[in-house]
């Protein structure tokens, strides 16, 4: 069970992409050593744009992570690797799918979708996202999936896949169709969509 998370965005200094990827990959064993970090993903948004998405059972688990070795290492190397301070957004996990018992599952691709709810429709958006869990349960190539509510009031979905094929089948599946069908009723902004590369991760044991 996870209820809390973090979305961290990182801008690499010019010429530091390889160093950022090496640094984030080296953090994976540290994440493995954090029992309250249920899942952890190092991602690349695009050239020079990186991030971390991780989830926790509760506020205490998130606080332990923020006081732990990954956060400390990030602070120590921030000036060397990043062009601006990391953007760290707390989030609530409204619903999720996680693999059970397969920490070695292959994950190489991801998707981050964020949007605003239409005025007065927050409860309906939350209900829609929670209901989507039953759909992704039937998608074997959607390895992990999280419906999220960010601290700036926006909502979203973050999910990961073994490869491009799995991501494509999700994007042409029922959840996006349902979102399009209810978009005018529920959404206050056109969704921002990021196609991610996942180059390091931790999944539950």
SS (H, E, C) 68-96: CHHHHHHHHHHHHHECCCCEEEEEEEEEE
| pLDDT (0 to 100) of residue 179 | 86
Instruction: Give one word for 15, left, alpha or beta, with left for phi > 0 and alpha for psi -120 to 50.
Output: left
| pLDDT (0 to 100) of residue 105 | 77
Closest CA to 142 of 120, 116, 117, 172: 172
| pLDDT (0 to 100) of residue 68 | 96
For 106-155, write each residue's pLDDT tens digit: 899 999 999 999 999 999 999 999 999 999 999 999 999 999 999 999 99
Residue whose token pair is 């991801």: 110
In a structure prediction context, what are the per-residue pLDDT tens digits for the chain, which is 205 residues long? 999 999 999 999 999 999 999 999 999 999 999 999 999 999 999 989 999 999 999 999 999 999 999 999 999 999 999 999 999 999 999 999 998 766 667 899 999 999 999 999 999 999 999 999 999 999 999 999 999 999 999 999 999 999 999 999 999 999 988 888 888 899 988 889 999 999 999 999 7
Which one is the CATH code of 4-202: 3.40.462.20, 3.40.920.10, 3.30.365.10, 3.30.70.100? 3.30.70.100
| pLDDT (0 to 100) of residue 190 | 86
In the chain, what are the domain boundaries?
4-202
Q: What is the pTM of this model?
A: 0.95
Torsion angle of C-alpha atoms 46, 50, 53, 54, degrees rounded to 10: 150
DSSP string, 78-145: HHHHBSSPPEEEEEEEEEEE--SS-TT----EEEEEEEPBPTT-HHHHHHHHHHTHHHHTT-TT--EE
| pLDDT (0 to 100) of residue 101 | 66
| pLDDT (0 to 100) of residue 162 | 96
For 152-166, write each residue's pLDDT tens digit: 999 999 999 999 999
Find the angle CA(35)-CA(55)-CA(43) to the nearest 5 degrees.
Answer: 110
d(CA 30, CA 62): 14
| pLDDT (0 to 100) of residue 107 | 96
Residue whose token pair is 């691709």: 109
| pLDDT (0 to 100) of residue 100 | 73
| pLDDT (0 to 100) of residue 112 | 97
Tokens found for residue 51? 């991030």
């Amino acid at each position: 069970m996870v209820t809390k998370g973090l979305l961290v965005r990182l801008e690499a200094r010019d010429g530091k992409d390889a160093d950022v990827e090496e640094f984030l990959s080296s953090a994976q064993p540290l994440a493995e050593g954090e029992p309250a970090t249920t899942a952890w993903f190092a991602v690349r948004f695009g050239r020079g744009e990186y991030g971390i998405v991780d989830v926790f059972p509760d506020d205490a688990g998130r606080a332990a992570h923020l006081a732990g070795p990954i956060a400390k290492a990030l602070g120590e190397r921030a000036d060397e690797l990043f062009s601006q301070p990391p953007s760290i957004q707390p989030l609530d996990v409204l619903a999720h799918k996680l693999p059970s018992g397969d920490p070695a599952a292959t994950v190489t691709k991801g998707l981050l979708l964020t949007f605003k709810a239409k005025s007065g429709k927050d409860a309906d958006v939350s209900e829609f996202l929670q209901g989507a869990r039953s759909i992704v349960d039937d998608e074997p190539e959607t390895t992990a999936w999280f419906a999220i509510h960010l601290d700036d009031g926006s909502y979203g979905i973050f999910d990961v896949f073994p490869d491009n094929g799995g991501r494509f089948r999700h994007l042409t599946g029922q959840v996006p169709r349902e979102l399009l069908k209810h978009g005018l009723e529920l959404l206050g902004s056109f969704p921002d969509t990021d196609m991610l590369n996942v180059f390091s991760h931790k999944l539950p044991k």
